[in-house]
């Protein structure tokens, strides 16, 4: 009887550890994505047109550092992002198709929590400022 209980305990422990090893693994062989391009194929009156739709560029941590949106193949929105060492977005710059600044958004953090978001126009004048307050348990 004692050996049966001991054997059952050992089987349960082995099954638990096996499930943990099998299902708990992270896929460490996944290649990091450097960029992504989305194209659109439009069918109009029997003709096919291919357009660039979106380009996205990533840093080594998977953060979006640049995003370019297109409409009918023409650049409509160009955003460049900067991140701190904790992967928090600290700056977002929106450019027009000519590369001129439209708007800059800066973010501030405390303990990895966003505490402020400030938007500036092209002349570096404040458009708006948001503050974030957190209530913890």
- CATH fold of 35-131, please? Lipocalin (2.40.128)
SS3 content of the chain, % helix, strand, coil (to 5): 15, 55, 30
| Opening angle at CA 117, ends 112 and 118, nearest 5 | 145
Greatest Cα-to-Cα distance within the chain, rounded to the nearest angstrom: 83
- Which phi and psi angles does 66 have, rounded to 5°? -155, 135
Minimal CA–CA distance to 78: which of 56, 108, 109, 107?
56
Q: pLDDT tens string for the chain (137 positions)?
A: 555 565 565 554 555 544 444 444 444 456 789 999 999 888 988 899 889 899 999 999 999 999 999 988 889 999 999 999 999 999 999 999 999 999 999 999 999 999 999 999 999 999 999 999 999 99
Domain boundaries, the chain: 35-131
Residue 107 burial (C-beta neighbours within 10 Å; 0-12, 13-18, 19+): buried
């Amino acid at each position: 009887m004692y050996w049966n209980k001991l054997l059952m305990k050992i089987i349960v422990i082995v099954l638990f550890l096996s499930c943990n090893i099998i299902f708990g693994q992270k896929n460490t062989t996944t290649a990091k994505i450097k960029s992504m391009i989305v194209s659109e194929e439009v069918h109009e009156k029997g003709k096919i047109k291919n357009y660039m739709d979106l380009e996205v560029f990533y840093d080594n941590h998977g953060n979006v550092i640049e995003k370019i949106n297109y409409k009918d193949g023409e650049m409509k929105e160009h955003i460049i992002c900067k991140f701190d060492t904790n992967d928090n977005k600290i700056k977002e710059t929106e450019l027009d198709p000519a590369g001129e600044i439209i708007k800059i958004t800066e973010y501030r953090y405390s303990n990895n929590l966003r505490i402020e978001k400030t938007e500036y126009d092209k002349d570096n004048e404040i458009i708006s400022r948001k503050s974030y307050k957190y209530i913890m348990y």
